[in-house]
């Protein structure tokens, strides 16, 4: 009787569409036994002219450059749009930043590292009219450019080298996608191609770029879940939402279980876009990773899932692209001679797609200025504010496309502009400064430069470079630097094994192992995202923990000891240790007051240590210290270097 009742229950569950797992067959993906809601009629609210009149959904057009009164100020087209708004507000732009501040800003923005004293000296002594432009070209040609801008993209791609969830298992090949992204930026792969390959790199051309499709599957995953059908369902939904947000600026994920509450995105829009990817995700097996899309022969049919529930299969649905970005009632659909993903990849960057270029231009602008031309880079929806400079946004988007989706052109256009080169501090004799602060308090009109805090990776990388510790090695599996034992103990056994080569510990931050359930401590306190979701805008918190970590961490102390050793060894009669310290850390010379205060501290600290009679063994001394240097003076220099590495000026860019 019991066996009969169990069989009856199994049959009833199968009839209503509940996925089943038979004991001993856990590796076999369950299937929907009967689509009892196959005849459901999916209804959609038709799009209206008002829907299509939203700024983001209008066709991108190239507006003419506005007329301005201060015709000598603009250096390129974008400056004309900025100046026109400033003049309308009866404001004037700020004078250009001085060369040290300008080079430091440019270097951090393009490669994520501070300029070296040699680079700064060369720039300051270069009197050629194109001296600044040549610095731009030098930095764009460095491998650090791809590492810097690759990290911005990895935030969007929710990149990590583990699955997340309880077991947080390692994805052994995940680093290959990170290296692909860095190489793509360094090679200046056109953005239209960059986007297309991440959707269909296994299908376009000869399929040699399949690794690029790891973008789609970089999100968190639970391979050991009992219901592998549910796992696939969640994976496809997350992928669809991420692709919509990152490439189109559409919050498609809000329509997973019902029509979007505010934006013209229906639930059917969501599942038609999801259908684009159905053929790329195989039937999953328990504990088996799924890292790349690959065209499948036998696939589960694409369906409309009622209320987003993987147990409630609705009617089959055909792949199509979001209606609001298409002139068609349903949305452009793949043609018979092209797979859905390949067709979608090409549609993304078609000239009549109003979203892709605008979204990417705004992302690049935001990273350079600290704010976007619109404030929500992954959401162009109706509830968000319109662009501060809509004509400028469209001018840049149209030019970006016309110039072959060239990202380095876009960087050049921005960083060589007079707008970008404005000072963020009041220049001497500037009588309009207070008026700018009053009329443009949040710098929405770009009436001056913006002071910005470095991100977590740049803080660490700058400490390593300034101290001479940075290792110039690139690529490969993520490395694990030492962590405090009490932190490692919070992980499962073997989840953080310090890399054996000491040189690996000082590689650039983009190459540190990215574990979803544990961020490197400095990254966590300085707001690096946890990679459980696509991150378009990082938080910028200010907490006591940040200061405590920087002042007391082993990394900061090691960097201070290396830095002290370097400046003491390299100083000359014409350049004192204080001069070298400030040039390395702040890209400027010290003031006479700063020099006097540091010398006074060193003398006081020396006298205090002598009086205390502290043994040399108990001193934190510079590395590679020459024998003739007084040990107490040397220990004081380490403290000075530690203070400089913790200074606000070290953590912020003017």
pLDDT in tens, 274-316: 999 999 999 999 999 999 999 888 888 999 999 999 999 999 9
Q: Inform me whether the pLDDT recorded for 654 exceeds 50.
A: yes
User: Beta-strand (E) ranges in 426-481?
Assistant: 452-453
Q: How far apart are CA 164 and CA 618, in angstroms?
A: 42
Quick check: 197 and 210 in contact, CB under 8 A?
Answer: no
Check residue 36 and give its pLDDT.
Answer: 57
Terminal Cα distance for the chain, rounded: 79
Check residue 35 and give its pLDDT.
Answer: 52
Question: What percent of the chain has a predicted confidence (pLDDT) above 90?
Answer: 85
Check residue 14 and give its pLDDT.
Answer: 38
Q: State the DSSP code for 448.
A: S
Strands 313-316 and 452-453: unpaired
Check residue 33 and give its pLDDT.
Answer: 42
pTM: 0.93
Is residue 409 exposed (0-12), middle (13-18) or buried (19+ Cβ within 10 Å)? Answer: middle
Quick check: 314 and 37 in contact, CB under 8 A?
Answer: yes
Which of the four pLDDT bands, split at 50, 70 and 90, describes residue 12?
very low
Mean pLDDT over 507-514 rounds to: 98
Give the residue from 644, 471, 637 showing the smallest Cα distance to 569. Answer: 637
Q: Inform me whether the pLDDT recorded for 5 exceeds 80.
A: no
Q: How far apart are CA 159 and CA 153, in angstroms?
A: 9
Q: How far apart are CA 42 and CA 330, in angstroms?
A: 12
Q: Inform me whether the pLDDT recorded for 227 exceeds 80.
A: yes
- Structure tokens, 170: 């390692």
Q: Which of 21-30, 34-43, 210-219 holds the top average pLDDT?
A: 210-219
Q: How far apart are CA 212 and CA 132, in angstroms?
A: 35
In degrees and rounded to multiples of 5, residue 347 shows phi and psi of -65, -35
Beta carbons within 10 angstroms of residue 594's beta carbon: 14
- Structure tokens, 598: 């540091």
Q: Give the Cα-Cα-Cα angle 535, 536, 541 (nearest 5 degrees).
A: 75
Helix boundaries (H) for 304-389? 340-348, 356-369
Q: Inform me whether the pLDDT recorded for 266 exceeds 90.
A: yes
Q: How far apart are CA 85 and CA 418, in angstroms?
A: 14
Q: Higher-confidence residue: 245 or 614?
A: 245
Q: Inform me whether the pLDDT recorded for 522 exceeds 70.
A: yes
622-652 pLDDT, tens digit each: 999 988 899 999 999 999 999 999 999 999 9
Quick check: 316 and 328 in contact, CB under 8 A?
Answer: no
Q: How far apart are CA 607 and CA 619, in angstroms?
A: 14
Paired with 303 in beta bridges are: 316
Which of the four pLDDT bands, split at 50, 70 and 90, describes residue 13?
very low
Check residue 7 and give its pLDDT.
Answer: 40
Which of the four pLDDT bands, split at 50, 70 and 90, describes residue 17?
very low
Paired with 452 in beta bridges are: 653
Q: How far apart are CA 472 and CA 281, in angstroms?
A: 38
- Structure tokens, 528: 């690096």
How large is the greatest C-alpha to C-alpha distance in the chain, in angstroms?
98
Quick check: 602 and 640 in contact, CB under 8 A?
Answer: yes
- Which of helix, strand or coil describes residue 304? strand
Mean pLDDT over 448-456 rounds to: 96
Mean pLDDT over 331-335 rounds to: 69
Q: Inform me whether the pLDDT recorded for 336 exceeds 70.
A: no
Q: How far apart are CA 511 and CA 480, in angstroms?
A: 9
Q: Give how far Cα 338 sits from Cα of 295, 335, 342, 375, Å.
A: 12, 6, 6, 36
Q: How far apart are CA 215 and CA 492, in angstroms?
A: 27
361-378 pLDDT, tens digit each: 999 999 999 999 999 999
Q: Inform me whether the pLDDT recorded for 250 exceeds 70.
A: yes
Q: Who's near 441: CB < 8 A, 6+ residues apart?
A: none
- Structure tokens, 569: 């060894």
**Cα–chain center distance at 612:** 49
- Which of helix, strand or coil describes residue 314? strand
Quick check: 452 and 370 in contact, CB under 8 A?
Answer: yes
DSSP string, 520-561: -HHHHHTT---SSS--SS------HHHHHHHHH-HHHHHHHH
Quick check: 343 and 368 in contact, CB under 8 A?
Answer: no
**Cα–chain center distance at 571:** 38
Q: How far apart are CA 56 and CA 333, in angstroms?
A: 21
Where are the chain's structural domains? 152-348, 453-525, 554-653
Rg (C-alpha) for the chain, rounded Å, is 28
Q: Higher-confidence residue: 510 or 24?
A: 510
Q: How far apart are CA 343 and CA 340, in angstroms?
A: 5
Check residue 330 and give its pLDDT.
Answer: 66
- Structure tokens, 136: 């731009």
Q: Inform me whether the pLDDT recorded for 337 exceeds 90.
A: no
Q: Inform me whether the pLDDT recorded for 18 exceeds 70.
A: no
Q: How far apart are CA 396 and CA 361, in angstroms?
A: 7
Q: What is the mean pLDDT of the chain?
A: 92
Q: Would you mind telling me the total number of residues written for the chain in this entry? A: 654
Quick check: 462 and 470 in contact, CB under 8 A?
Answer: no
Paired with 316 in beta bridges are: 303
Q: State the DSSP code for 170.
A: B
Give the residue from 326, 57, 360, 352 showing the smallest Cα distance to 192. Answer: 360
**Cα–chain center distance at 397:** 20
Mean pLDDT over 239-265 rounds to: 97
Give the residue from 79, 48, 81 showing the smallest Cα distance to 64. Answer: 81
Quick check: 321 and 277 in contact, CB under 8 A?
Answer: no
Q: Inform me whether the pLDDT recorded for 358 exceeds 70.
A: yes
Q: For residue 309, how many C-alpha atoms fall within 13 Å in the half-sphere facing its CB? A: 12
Mean pLDDT over 532-561 rounds to: 95
**Site of tokens 């509940």:** 18
- Which of helix, strand or coil describes residue 133? helix
Q: How far apart are CA 568 and CA 576, in angstroms?
A: 8
Check residue 470 and give its pLDDT.
Answer: 97
**Site of tokens 């979001």:** 322
- Which of helix, strand or coil describes residue 313? strand
Give the residue from 552, 575, 567 showing the smallest Cα distance to 633. Answer: 567
Give the residue from 169, 185, 568, 203 showing the smallest Cα distance to 363. Answer: 185
- Which of helix, strand or coil describes residue 339? coil
Q: Who's near 264: CB < 8 A, 6+ residues apart?
A: 45, 47, 51, 57, 323, 324
Which of the four pLDDT bands, split at 50, 70 and 90, describes residue 23?
very low
Q: How far apart are CA 654 and CA 112, in angstroms?
A: 14
47-94 pLDDT, tens digit each: 999 999 999 999 999 999 999 999 999 999 999 999 999 999 999 999
């Amino acid at each position: 009787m019991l066996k009969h009742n169990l069989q009856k229950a199994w049959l009833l569950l199968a009839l209503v569409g509940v996925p089943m797992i038979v004991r001993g067959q856990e590796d076999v993906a369950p299937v929907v036994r009967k689509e009892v809601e196959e005849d459901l009629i999916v209804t959609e609210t038709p799009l209206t002219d008002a829907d299509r009149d939203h700024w983001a959904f209008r066709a991108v057009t190239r507006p003419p450059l506005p007329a301005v009164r201060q015709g000598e100020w603009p250096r390129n087209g974008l400056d004309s749009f900025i100046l026109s708004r400033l003049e309308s507000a009866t404001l004037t732009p700020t004078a250009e930043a001085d060369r040290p501040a300008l080079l430091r800003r440019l270097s951090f923005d393009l490669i994520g590292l501070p300029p070296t004293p040699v680079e700064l000296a060369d720039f300051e002594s270069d009197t050629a009219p194109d001296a600044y432009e040549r610095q731009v070209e030098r930095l764009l040609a460095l491998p650090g450019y791809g590492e810097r801008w690759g990290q911005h993209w990895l935030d969007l791609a929710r990149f990590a080298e583990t699955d997340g969830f309880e077991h947080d298992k390692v994805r052994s090949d995940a680093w290959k996608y990170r290296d692909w992204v860095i190489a793509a930026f360094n090679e200046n792969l056109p953005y239209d191609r960059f986007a297309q390959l991440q959707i269909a790199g296994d299908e376009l051309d000869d399929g040699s770029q399949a690794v690029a499709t790891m973008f789609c599957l970089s999100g968190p995953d639970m391979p050991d879940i009992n219901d592998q059908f549910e796992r696939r369902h969640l994976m496809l939904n997350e992928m669809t939402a991420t692709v919509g947000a990152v490439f189109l600026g559409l919050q498609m994920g809000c329509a997973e279980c019902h029509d979007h509450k505010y934006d013209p995105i229906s639930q059917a829009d969501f599942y038609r876009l999801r259908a684009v990817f159905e053929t790329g995700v195989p039937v999953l097996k328990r504990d088996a990773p799924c890292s790349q899309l690959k065209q499948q022969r036998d696939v589960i049919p694409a369906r409309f899932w009622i209320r987003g529930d993987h147990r409630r299969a609705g009617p089959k649905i055909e792949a199509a692209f979001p209606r609001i970005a298409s002139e068609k009632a349903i949305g452009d659909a793949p043609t018979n001679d092209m797979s859905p993903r390949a067709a979608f990849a090409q549609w993304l960057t078609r000239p009549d797609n109003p979203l892709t270029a605008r979204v990417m231009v705004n992302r690049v602008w935001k990273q350079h200025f600290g704010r976007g031309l619109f404030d929500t880079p992954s959401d162009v929806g109706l509830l968000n504010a319109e662009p501060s400079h809509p004509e400028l946004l469209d001018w840049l988007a149209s030019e970006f496309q016309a110039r072959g989706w060239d990202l380095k052109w876009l960087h050049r256009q921005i960083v060589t502009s007079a707008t970008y080169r404005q000072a963020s501090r009041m220049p001497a004799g500037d009588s309009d400064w207070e008026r700018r602060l009053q009329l443009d308090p949040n710098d929405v009109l770009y009436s001056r430069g913006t002071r910005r805090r470095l991100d977590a990776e740049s803080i660490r990388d700058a400490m390593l470079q300034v101290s001479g510790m940075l290792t110039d090695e690139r690529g490969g599996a993520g490395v694990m630097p030492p962590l405090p034992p009490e932190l490692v103990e919070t992980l499962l056994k073997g989840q953080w094994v310090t890399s054996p080569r000491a040189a690996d510990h000082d590689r650039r931050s983009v190459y540190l192992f990215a574990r979803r359930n544990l961020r490197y401590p400095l990254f966590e306190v300085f707001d690096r995202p946890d990679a459980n979701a696509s991150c378009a805008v990082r938080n910028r918190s200010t907490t006591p923990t940040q200061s405590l970590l920087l002042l007391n961490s082993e990394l900061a102390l090691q960097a201070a000891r290396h830095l002290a050793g370097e400046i003491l060894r390299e100083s000359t009669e014409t350049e004192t240790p204080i001069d070298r310290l400030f040039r390395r850390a702040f890209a400027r010379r010290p003031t006479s007051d700063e020099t006097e205060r540091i010398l006074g501290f060193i003398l006081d600290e020396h006298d205090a240590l002598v009086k205390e009679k502290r043994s040399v063994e108990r001193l934190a001394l510079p590395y590679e210290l020459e024998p003739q240097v007084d040990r107490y003076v040397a220990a004081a220099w380490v403290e000075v270097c530690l203070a400089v590495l913790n200074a606000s000026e070290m953590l912020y860019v003017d």
